[in-house]
Structures are given as C-alpha cells and as structure tokens.
Structure 1
Amino acid sequence: MNPLLQEFDTAPFSEIKNTDYKEAFKKAIEIAKNEISQIISNDETPSFENTTVALDFTGEKLSRVSSIFFNLNSAETNDEIQQIAKEVSPWLSEFKNDMILNKVLFTRVKAVYDQKESLSLTPEQETLLEKQYKGFSRNGANLNKSSQQKLRELDAELSKLSLQFGENVLAETNAYELVITNKSQLSGLPESAKEAAKMLAQEKGVTGWVFTLDYPSYIPFMTYADDRELRKELSIAFGKKAFQQNKNNNEDVVLKIVNLRHQRANLLGYPTHAHFVLEDRMAETPKKVLDFSNDLLLKAKPAAEREFKNLENYAKKLDGIDQLQKWDGAYYSEKLKKELFNLDQELLKPYFKLENVINGVFSVTTKLYGLHFKQIYTIDKYHEDVKTYEVSDGNSNFISYLYADFHPRAGKRNGAWMTSFKSQQIKNDINDRPHISIVCNFTKPTETKPSLLTFNEVTTLFHEFGHALHGMLANTTYNSLSGTSVSWDFVELPSQVLENWCYEKEALELFAKHYETNEVIPMEYVTKIKESASFHEGMQTLRQLSFGLLDMAWHGQDPSNIENVKTFEADAFSETQLYPDVKENCMSTSFSHIFQGGYSAGYYSYKWAEVLDADAFEYFKEQGIFNSEIAAKFKEHVLSKGGTEKPMVLYKRFRGQEPTVDALLKRAGLLTD
C-alpha cells in the first residue's frame, strides 16, 4: 500500500520508499484532473464559488506529494531521487499546461473575472480571482493552439534544464575536497574548524584534514587560513563550479535557459523575461528595478571603493601584498575588523550554542507574538538530525508543526531555506494549520564541542525563522494566497526584519550565553557587534547589487546574441567590480538562485526587502523592540495576511506610510549629509 496515497496529516516519511513516488505522482495527477473535470462539467453558470474557489481547492493530494518529494530532493536526495525528479518534472509541467491551456476551464474563469465588479467580493476574494485569471493569461490561455503547443515544449525543456543545472552544481560541490596532511598548513584556523575537518577526514577514511566547498567548511578556511596559496586553490575551486570542461559544465545550460525564457516571454507578449516576471511584483517593471539598483549603486560605490582601498593598504602594510585578490577579501577583512573593533568571530561563537540560539529565536517570538514551542517526538521525520516542534498560541490553540534541519550532509544542498509540507487554508469552516520546515547547514557538534554558530549563522537562523513565522502565522481562506505566497520582492520582509533582533541587547540577553559557564554575552561584545554591523557595508551592498544587476542583464534583454557566458558576465559586473577577475571562475554557472531556485529577474528583491525591513524595524525601535502593539500590527497586517492584498497596501496599513530608503542608508552607514 502506497503511504503517499493514504490520508495523512503529517508526512509519513519513514514509510515512504523511493519506489512509491512515481505511482503517487501519477495517481495524484489523475485525482487533480478529475477535480478539474467536475468544475468543467458543472451545468450551473460559472460563479465565484463553483469555479474560482473550487479551482483553488483542487490538486491538494498532488500538492502534498510534490512538497514532500521536492523538499527531500533538496534536503535528503540521492541518485535515485534525482532520477525520479527528472522523470516526474515533465509530467508536472504537462499537467500544469493541460490545466492552464484548457479552453473550457479558462472560459469559466474568465466569465467570473469579467463580472467581478458586480460580485461584491472581499479584498481577499478579489485577489484570488485576479491571481487565478492572471495565472491563466500569463501562461498562455489567450494563445492560439500552435502557440500553446510551443509553450508546452518550452516549459518541459526549462523544467529539465533547471534540474540539470542544480545537479551539475551539486556534483561539482561534492567532487572537490582539499586534503591537508601537513599541520603547519592549518595555521590561523580556529580549533573548531580544524576539529570539523579532522572529523570529515575520518568519515572519508582519509589521513589528515579535509576541507570541502560546503559553506561550514569553506567559509572558515577563507576567513582564517594563513596559507594564501591554499586559500587561492579553494577559492578558485569554489568559483569554477560547473565552469570546467567536464560533464558538469553549465555554460550551455545557462544559455539555453535564458534563451528559452526569453522566447517564452515573447510568446506571451512581453518584451523580455524580466518584463514578464516583474509585472507580478511590487517593483512592476525592469526600469524601476534598474533605477532602484543604480540609485543604491550611486550611494554605495564611493563607500565601497574607500573600504576596498583601505583594505588593500592594510594587506600591503601587514603582508606586503600589492594586489588584493578574491581569496584575500574575507581573510584581511576579518583581521581588520578584529583590529578596529577588537571583535573576533571565534570569541563570539561560545555564546552561540545552536540549542541556545534556537531557544533564543523562540523566546523572541514568544515575546513578540505570544507563540510557544514544544519539542515533540511523536511525528515522523525524514532524517534523524531533524528536530520537530509543536507550535501553539497563548491560549494553547494549535498553530503549526515546525521541522528544523540544521547540519550539512551528503545529499543536502548548500545554503539555508524555509519551505512547507502543508500550507494553511480555511475549508468547510475548518482552519487547516500549516506544517513548516527550515533547513540550514551549520557546523556539526564535534567530540569535544557542541554546535557553536558564527554570528553570521545566528542571523541566518533568525532569517529563516522569519520566513517560518510568515508560514506558521498564516491565516487566510485560500491556500494559494497563504503564508509566503506573496510577491517575491515582499517575501523577504518577514525574514530580514527578524535579523534585526540579533543586534539588540534586550534580545541577546535572552539567549547569548556561554556554553560552558552560562555567562551572558558581555555588553562590550554587544556594542561591538552593533558597531561592526556596518563594517564594509559599502562593499557588501556593491556585492549584492552586482548579483542583482547580473540577473537583470541575463533576463532584461534579448539574449540570443550572447555567445560567451564568461564575457557577458564580466561586462555585467564592470560597474560593480572591485577585485581583479579570475579567468578560471564564472559565477553564472553556479548561480542557483536564478537558474534553479526561482529568483530569475528577482534577485534585486533582497535589497528591495532590506529597504522595507530597515523602515519597519525603525518603527519597532521608536516604540521599543518588544512593543506588543507594533508586533500585533505586524502580525495582523503582514505575517497573517499572506498574499491576500497588494503588498504595499498591507505594508502601509502596518506602517502608516510608504517605506523610504533613508532607514537602510542610515543603518548601513551610507547616509551622507
């Protein structure tokens, strides 16, 4: 009996075998098709209830199977799962296209849409209808038959290429390791990094120490290793992922993806892929994104150039280095930061034991939103590392389940993300609560030490938890508008705003306690964390803008004449480049955010959301960072509302005004008089 085809509330991970997936997908697609047939064959006049609402509730089984499978393909994959993903992805594209291009179904949706003025709908119902109609029109429902067929072919091909891109990057990441047998080459590295590398070597049956391209291994090495040649080797290995002459090369994949996306946009009547994507975002047009990015670039570039010059002079004074290279940046930045602020990341780590930081983010959330978290052992999980929690409110009402998966392993992609195994909705008067998951890659505990986080990892945990709150506190009627189902340049607001609490004394006192002595983090450290928060902010801003501008370069023009990925990328980076180019390296071939992760023509949204988050946190600070009234407004107008209304409407309802860029520039130390 296939567990995925039974009725279940929480995902039955331990019962699922890889062989269950394909059958489950086939059956779930069949069920969804039958649900659509019932809507089409309804003899009654199309109405909001029998068409719009009915359609929103179709495909629940398919949605559950998909969320389980694709979440595991990111967090706990293997060759077999990757192979299944290749097979089922075209099925899903085809099903989606069958639905979107179903003329009878679209006729019903359009009939409701055309009479929307006379229907007395709530704002949420209006948004659902608008989103549903656009979902059809933006995906080819108004096209003729041959154009629709062309669209199907493009979508199937894009779906395959995106998977291939991700697999190539993962294969390249896993294929590289730096093995060190000479202890002197570990000079400068903190004990925790050496211990983790030793453990990894033992796991791999290798003598010495092993470093990989996974962030918890890569970042400490680039930040602390004194051996410049080894930093160079590791940096070049990291930068040439999927840019080598082997079967994992992504250059052709990138060119195919951008050209197919462009063709798709043209087919639908849009000048470029960016025009297509941005129509549905807060930013609305490529021009607005470029104006926004270039305005910030103008303000950040002079600061970035000053910081870079300063760093170059420092490296020259310290080690006689004439030309600062990419593999020197983190190393000398960390040294200079330590000198300026007397703040060593390694000094901070003992105060950020993973379990304490988890309790910290829970405590902050309890104080702000009245949520309570209880670790439970009664629901199934997909790996023994995963922790599971039951989340309730102050009246003991069930709010959500939370899965948390914190450590790297083979079969888990790099980075950190939030996702859901079940989204919230209200159906048959029952508020069906969500099941949310956060996935990170933090250093594992060693034989002598627990998992101690860098401050950067602390902010990462708070960031992903902000996304999780957006999912957990969802309180909308329709699942397609629930939780993080908002425009992509708004989705980062809840995550980025929560990071601000990591810098505040009142919040840090709740959880930043030494793992051995339980002593609260000294206030001088807190002051230094705050002072150093804007250290090299000009360079950081330039780096973020460079990624966003590269994304817009790929997607904001006709790419058909681009022949060389590296040359094109170098040109896109020309305005933001500080370090000399490394000929062996190319970012685009491993830029998973835009070629695999859904951020195409949307990478700018990180900076866009920073403007929102700085402005929102300024409001909290004016009233007190744990002010219950402001928190209640943020919960009511942002966290619980999902995508039920336009983001700026929700934001203004919370804030009372549109955001300004000033709070961000002030926080970043980039505000000039």
Structure 2
Amino acid sequence: MNIQHIPKKAASMVLLTAVLLSSCDKKKETAESMKTEETKNLLLEEWTGDYGGTPAFDKMKVADIKPALEKGMEINLQEIEKIANNTEPPTFKNTIEEMERSGQELNRAFTYYGILRSNMSSEAFREVQKEMAPKISDFRSKISQNEKLFQRIKAVYESSQKTPLETDQQRVVQLVYEQFAMNGAELDAEKKKRYAEINKELSGLYTNFSNNILADEEGYVTYLTKDQLSGLSEPLIKAYAKAANDRGEEGKYAVTNTRSSMDPFLTYSDERDLREKVWKNYYSRGDNGDDHDNNENIANILKLRKERVGLLGYDNYADWRLQNRMAKNPENAMTLMNAVWPASIARVKEEVADMQAVADANGDKITIEPWDYRYYAEKVRKKKYDLDSDEVKQYLQLDKLREAMFFVAGELFNFKFSEIAEGKVPVFHPDVKVWEVNDKATGEHIGLWYLDPFARKGKRSGAWATTYRSHTTFDGKKTVLGSNNSNFVKPAPGEPVLVSWDDAETFFHEFGHALHFFASEVRYPTLNGGVRDYTEFQSQLLERWLSTDKVIDNYLVHYKTGEPIPKALVEKIKKAATFNQGFATTEYLASALMDMKFHLADPSNIDVDKFERETLAELNMPKELVMRHRTPHFGHVFSGEGYATAYYGYMWADVLTSDAAEAFAEAPEGFYDKEVADKLVKYLFAPRNAMDPAEAYRKFRGRDANIEALMKDRGFPVPKS
C-alpha cells in the first residue's frame, strides 16, 4: 500500500503545506488589498458553489501553479510577520489561533498542486515542480526559523505548562512548539543557515526521486500477442487490450508497469519468460543505471538527513524522527519487527517447499524464483484449500465493494453516501465521481467524498487517501472534502471491474482513512494531523469488515449472474485466511527493516545497492521473493519524509488492529456491536490528534494492546510471555 496524504501540521512543517482552510474577516481584508491583475489567480481564489465551496478542478492549469504558489507564499509570509511582530504579549488567541488561521490562499494552491503532482502529472508540471521545490523549501525555512515567531510560541507553551489551557488548546500548543523545536527553531544563526540549505537540497532530491519512478512506470510496458494470454481471465484480457489500445497498439495486450497490472499477470500467466520480464520491469524501477536511476539520489538523501539531525544533536535520523511517535525510539520499533521476522521467514520456507512440490509434480522442471511465487502460490491455494482466487474475483466487483463500504460506514458511523449528479461538482478527470456524506439521523451535511479509481498516464502508482478540506470549528464549521485514489486497471466499456481479495482489502483500507477524515470532531486544523505509526491503525481496522457476514451475504455477488457468493466458497476463503502470510509479511517487513537500517547506518560512503544486498543477506531474506518496495523506488521513504524510518508503522498499527478486532469479535453483536462501535468512533476516530494515541487506545480497550492477537491473525506461533 502506498498511502500518502496532503501533509498535516503535526506530521510535517507546521503552517507550511498543511491544509488550513478556515475563513475569517481578516482574510477578506488581505484579499481585497491584493486584488491586482497579478493576484487574480484561480488557484488562490476562495472556493465557491454548494457544499461550502469546492475546488475548481475543471479549470486548473499547469501555467497557474507557479504564480499561485509564489503569491500564496508571499501572502502567508506577510501573515506570519504580522503575528511575529505583534506588540501585544503572546497569547493562545493572538499567536497560535492566528497561525491556525493563516495560509488559506496558499493551501488552496497546494490542493491543486497535489492533484497535478499525484493524479495528473505531465512533463510540463514536472518542470514546474522542479523549479518550485527549492522555493517551497526556502519558504518553509523562513517560517520555521522565524526567531520572533518561535519566541512567541515558546512563551505561550511555557505559560500553558504553568496555567493549562483548554484540553484541545493545550494539545495544539504542545504540537506546534514541539514541531518548531524539532525543526531547528532553537539553533544558532550559522546552524539555521545550514539547516535551511539542507532542506532545500533535499526538496530537489525528493522531486527527482519521484519523477524518476514515474518515468520508469510510464516507460516500461510489456505487450502481449494473442498466443501469450494463457492462464489469464477474460476480464483481465479485455482490460489489457484496452490498455494497449489506449497506447495506440490495437490488437495487442499491455501489461503496464504498475502493481495493479503486474500482480494479476504474475499470479495467473502461464508464460514464465513473460512473468520474468514483467517482474524485472516492476522491481527494477529507479534501478536501471540510466538517467532515471535513483541510487545516487538515495545516498545523497541519507547523508543530508544525518547531517541535518546532527545539527540538532542527534546521532541518527531515526532517533530524531521517532521521538514523538508511539514507538518513541528505533529500538522499540526494531524489537517489534524482530519479534515477527523469524516466524515470517520460516513460513516462507514452508510456502516455497509447497510450491516446489507442485512444480515438481507438474513436471515443470524449475526452481522457484521470485517471478514464480504468486503463480505457484495460487496453485498451492487450489490444492490445499480448493480455492481459486480467480473464482473469488468473480464476486468482487468494485462498484459492489463501494456499496459495501457505504453500508459499513452507515452501520458504524451513521454516515449516508449519496452520489452527486455529474457536472454539479467540478472534477479533474472524467473518471472521478463524487458523493455527498450526511448524518443518517439528522441529515446534517458532513462533506464530499471523491473517488478516482483507475490507473492512467501521469498518475502515481499505489492507493492513497487525501483531504482537500478538513473539519474544523474554531472559525465556524468547515465540512470535509475527502478523496480516495486507486490504480485499478480500467475495464473495457460495459465490463465490471473485478479485483482480488487483497485489492478489496486495500480499497476498504483507504476508505478507512476517509472515514477518519469525515469522523473528525476537532476544533483546530493542527489536530487533524496524526502520528504515523497510529494513523494506519484506523484504516487497517476497517479492512476487517470486508470479511463480515453482512458484507459477504449482501455485496459479494457474481458479476454475470448476480448470484450471491456460495457459502462453500466463503468457508474456503475463511479457512485460507492465513495462507501465504509468509510472503505478505516478509515482503513488507523486509522493506520496513531496510528503511530503519538505512537510517541507522553511517551514510558517509554508502553504496546503496550493496547495502541493500548485504543487509538482506544478514537478515536471511529468502531468495524467492523481494522487498515489497525495493530501495530505488521506495517512494514512501525517499520521495519525502512522511514514512522515513516510519514504514514499520504499518506493523505497529497492525498490533493495535488485531487487538481492537478482538474487542469486536468478543462483543455480543460482533463487528456491528453498537456499544463497541460507539467507543470506536468516540476514542479512535473523532479525536484525530487531539488526544495522545496511547491514551486514546486505552480508553477504547481498557488496556494497552499486545502482540499475541497479531501473531494469531497471521497464523504464526504466539511468543511465550
């Protein structure tokens, strides 16, 4: 899963690229004073129309991005200077609240920028992105290193330690103060200068890294002919035919260089040579020794990150990054991963033995290689459980899964989703559909949900959730504009989108992020942020509802006949629940361990490719599979800093997930128990980052989570306490 959000204040630089979309009279005054031809840029303008106003996605142009960002940054810096130079004694109201209120024009511009970067990238945009990256970095540094501003923040913080504010205000002050302090606000002038220079260099490296991945995803396509389709299902063949036709290769079939296209091909294709080619294309992204090679970028990123945290007195990047996460330090994160890793690779050994036996029995005369794993795992699944994943896919229609998600949202959150007529809300591509979200009981408008489901050129791979506007109330209630984005292979006209069970879980996962946005009850924008090893918990938990009886019985129906999925097939799915967990856990954990080890190592003379090989060897990484994200295309970690030394967070969150799922499993009404669901919303979704995550979980569960439930869920031996 490649999950990324528009940055929140508590997770990235406060007030810089966070979504701060509340309105105020002061802003109107600023807008009036700036109304010249130069400032009349659509991307800066207040959103208009129904639903509290919506972005004019249908009118945005790449040419408007640069002037919008430049003017937005100029306006925001003026606001910051006004706050910093206020002659009144610093208070929460005249300092922190004013900071929460600032940056609205810029944040609107960043909303469009985010769409063009992630969903609609082009060569023209990438040039703008390269040019703007260092300017945005300079802008961030001007705020984070504003001495007068920080002294006011510090004064409010210190005052709050003696005379506490309201609970949520106290949390805001803490988060703002810690974020400034963590980013060098207290350094001397010389170190601040170097800190800003490093951030500027990193911004260019992150942009280059991302664009290199995108270039390799667009540049490598495997075309098939009719005699090379053995093993592929009819819907998949039609989708590959459309992909080829879209690229001007009529009569052929295209496997594009994205996970959603690669994965089913490796699972079902009988053509071993082509499986190897598709596998190598995908796992060599950013590692082809050409202009798009990312190894040098990674080495430079690691060196700069270590130098930067060294200015703050930290030995390594991981110690700095994890200080305000649930794990607190890299040792705790490594302890969790090391507790699971031995059981994981041991299970891989068993899985490979089973696959090799099937290959030998078939007379295939091969030794299992990474491009064989999915293919033979599928054959083992059929043999062990009489379960055919392709048969299961016939009951997993994307539209029906969406309806199932809406049902779950209604049962747990009392949300109602109603599709909005085409043309009523501007969208950035015809594939995007929009739904209104209301409270089922009161009819209160909560927000809009945008869905962008299909892969296309210029769209980064993976699946993610984001917000265009977050819930706040301190300046009048603001409703939510949330979005889910996927990369399903677009079907031929009139054909349904059939997905794997894993892809269905991912769809539910990303929707869990969206529900986290919509359930927010916080007052201040900063509190819509999150702690990285906690924010995946809510979304991972929502995956569990896919396999509940109410979803299976009502929404898993055959795409041709409309017949519900047979009970016997459901039983096979449940019996095979822990099947292939060696593969799933090992490919993920290898990436998480590599992320941490890279940032704990001395990067002075690091050879990235060699370090990856040697580290995996030390871990006894099975040769039959690779990391989920090989280092040269590990965008979570090297296209920015959101998941750097934090990829372990999925497993940390999964400990919480497995433990919380037991609370539902033990409840009288199971996963639809009203009392447990109310506690889920009250303590785990609505507070966002207004409450310390550990405290929030204890309020829900009555105790801390433990690892036992996670190990049981994966079918691994439970460690002795």
1:447 CA drift (Å): 3.6
1:448 CA drift (Å): 5.3
**Secondary structure at 1:140's aligned position in 2?**
coil
**Secondary structure at 2:112's aligned position in 1?**
helix
One-letter code aligned to 2:527: L
1:504 CA drift (Å): 1.9
One-letter code aligned to 2:568: E
Write the mapping of 1:394-409 to structure 2, written as runs, cut at 5 A.
394=440, 395-409=442-456
The separation in 2 between residues aligned to 1:330 and 1:299, in whole angstroms, is: 20
- Name the residue aligned to 1:185: 228
- Name the residue aligned to 2:237: 194
Of 439, 455, 473, which aligns to 2:485? 439
- Name the residue aligned to 1:335: 379
**Secondary structure at 2:449's aligned position in 1?**
strand
Q: Conserved in 2, the CA contact under 8 Å of 1:222 and 1:231? A: yes
- Name the residue aligned to 2:612: 569
Out of 379-388 and 308-317, give the one that drifted further.
308-317
- Name the residue aligned to 1:560: 604
- Name the residue aligned to 2:20: none
- Name the residue aligned to 2:161: 117
The separation in 2 between residues aligned to 1:480 and 1:185, in whole angstroms, is: 53
Write the mapping of 1:161-560 to structure 2, written as runs, cut at 5 A.
161-181=205-225, 183-206=226-249, 207-377=251-421, 378-394=424-440, 395-428=442-475, 430-447=476-493, 449-482=495-528, 485-560=529-604
1:224 CA drift (Å): 0.9
Q: Conserved in 2, the CA contact under 8 Å of 1:109 and 1:133? A: yes
1:566 CA drift (Å): 1.6
1:580 CA drift (Å): 5.4
One-letter code aligned to 2:124: E
Write the mapping of 1:65-84 to structure 2, written as runs, cut at 5 A.
65-84=109-128
- Name the residue aligned to 2:23: none
Q: CA, structure 1 residues 299+346, in 2 after alignment: closer, same or farther (shift >3 Å)?
A: closer
Q: CA, structure 1 residues 419+121, in 2 after alignment: closer, same or farther (shift >3 Å)?
A: same
Structure 1 residues without counterparts, runs of 5 or longer: none
- Name the residue aligned to 2:44: 5
Structure 2 residues without counterparts, runs of 5 or longer: 1-39, 48-52
The separation in 1 between residues aligned to 2:174 and 2:197, in whole angstroms, is: 26
One-letter code aligned to 2:698: K
1:318 CA drift (Å): 2.5
The separation in 2 between residues aligned to 1:607 and 1:55, in whole angstroms, is: 34
The separation in 2 between residues aligned to 1:63 and 1:510, in whole angstroms, is: 41
Q: Conserved in 2, the CA contact under 8 Å of 1:352 and 1:452? A: yes
The separation in 2 between residues aligned to 1:534 and 1:48, in whole angstroms, is: 51
Q: Percent identity?
A: 33
Q: Conserved in 1, the CA contact under 8 Å of 2:540 and 2:657? A: yes
**Secondary structure at 2:324's aligned position in 1?**
coil
Q: Conserved in 1, the CA contact under 8 Å of 2:470 and 2:517? A: yes
The separation in 1 between residues aligned to 2:240 and 2:64, in whole angstroms, is: 37
Of 667, 677, 694, which aligns to 1:631? 677
Of 645, 649, 652, which aligns to 2:698? 652
Q: CA, structure 1 residues 320+350, in 2 after alignment: closer, same or farther (shift >3 Å)?
A: closer
1:134 aligns with 2:178: yes
Q: Conserved in 2, the CA contact under 8 Å of 1:169 and 1:242? A: yes
Out of 341-350 and 314-323, give the one that drifted further.
314-323
Q: Conserved in 1, the CA contact under 8 Å of 2:209 and 2:638? A: yes
**Secondary structure at 2:467's aligned position in 1?**
strand
Out of 602-611 and 348-357, give the one that drifted further.
348-357
Q: Conserved in 1, the CA contact under 8 Å of 2:358 and 2:379? A: no
The separation in 2 between residues aligned to 1:107 and 1:260, in whole angstroms, is: 27
Q: Conserved in 1, the CA contact under 8 Å of 2:453 and 2:485? A: yes
The separation in 1 between residues aligned to 2:306 and 2:357, in whole angstroms, is: 45
One-letter code aligned to 1:77: S
- Name the residue aligned to 1:15: 59
**Secondary structure at 1:431's aligned position in 2?**
coil
The separation in 2 between residues aligned to 1:504 and 1:59, in whole angstroms, is: 43
One-letter code aligned to 2:99: L
The separation in 1 between residues aligned to 2:228 and 2:563, in whole angstroms, is: 34
Q: Conserved in 2, the CA contact under 8 Å of 1:308 and 1:578? A: no
Out of 434-443 and 343-352, give the one that drifted further.
343-352
The separation in 2 between residues aligned to 1:535 and 1:324, in whole angstroms, is: 18
The separation in 1 between residues aligned to 2:43 and 2:620, in whole angstroms, is: 49
- Name the residue aligned to 2:3: none
Q: Conserved in 2, the CA contact under 8 Å of 1:363 and 1:510? A: no
1:518 CA drift (Å): 2.1
1:642 aligns with 2:681: no
Query: Which TM-score applies when normalising by structure 2?
Result: 0.90
**Secondary structure at 2:473's aligned position in 1?**
strand
One-letter code aligned to 2:304: L
One-letter code aligned to 1:47: T
Q: Conserved in 1, the CA contact under 8 Å of 2:345 and 2:622? A: no
The separation in 2 between residues aligned to 1:589 and 1:668, in whole angstroms, is: 29
1:625 CA drift (Å): 0.7
Q: Conserved in 1, the CA contact under 8 Å of 2:472 and 2:522? A: yes
The separation in 2 between residues aligned to 1:120 and 1:262, in whole angstroms, is: 36
The separation in 2 between residues aligned to 1:586 and 1:370, in whole angstroms, is: 37
Q: CA, structure 1 residues 507+180, in 2 after alignment: closer, same or farther (shift >3 Å)?
A: closer
Q: CA, structure 1 residues 586+103, in 2 after alignment: closer, same or farther (shift >3 Å)?
A: closer
- Name the residue aligned to 2:5: none
Out of 198-207 and 230-239, give the one that drifted further.
198-207
1:621 aligns with 2:668: no
One-letter code aligned to 2:44: L
The separation in 1 between residues aligned to 2:280 and 2:317, in whole angstroms, is: 31
One-letter code aligned to 2:236: A
Cα deviation, 1:399-427, whole Å, max 9, x if unaligned, reads 11111000111010111000111122112
- Name the residue aligned to 1:145: 189
Out of 66-75 and 398-407, give the one that drifted further.
66-75
The separation in 2 between residues aligned to 1:632 and 1:44, in whole angstroms, is: 44
Q: Conserved in 1, the CA contact under 8 Å of 2:455 and 2:486? A: yes
The separation in 2 between residues aligned to 1:566 and 1:456, in whole angstroms, is: 30
The separation in 2 between residues aligned to 1:242 and 1:538, in whole angstroms, is: 27
The separation in 2 between residues aligned to 1:494 and 1:194, in whole angstroms, is: 35
**Secondary structure at 1:625's aligned position in 2?**
helix
What is the count of residue pairs matched by the alignment? Answer: 667
One-letter code aligned to 1:408: A
1:637 CA drift (Å): 0.7
Cα deviation, 1:476-522, whole Å, max 9, x if unaligned, reads 0111111xx11100010111001011122222223112223222111
One-letter code aligned to 1:660: N
Write the mapping of 1:88-99 to structure 2, written as runs, cut at 5 A.
88-99=132-143
The separation in 1 between residues aligned to 2:116 and 2:417, in whole angstroms, is: 24
The separation in 2 between residues aligned to 1:148 and 1:405, in whole angstroms, is: 41
The separation in 2 between residues aligned to 1:312 and 1:272, in whole angstroms, is: 43
1:218 CA drift (Å): 1.1
- Name the residue aligned to 2:148: 104
Q: CA, structure 1 residues 533+76, in 2 after alignment: closer, same or farther (shift >3 Å)?
A: same
Cα deviation, 1:322-365, whole Å, max 9, x if unaligned, reads 52110010000011112222222221222222111111100111
The separation in 2 between residues aligned to 1:40 and 1:233, in whole angstroms, is: 58
Query: Which TM-score applies when normalising by structure 1?
Result: 0.96
Q: Conserved in 2, the CA contact under 8 Å of 1:188 and 1:224? A: yes
One-letter code aligned to 2:638: F
One-letter code aligned to 1:670: F
The separation in 2 between residues aligned to 1:237 and 1:298, in whole angstroms, is: 30
One-letter code aligned to 2:587: R
1:151 CA drift (Å): 0.8
Q: Conserved in 1, the CA contact under 8 Å of 2:72 and 2:106? A: yes
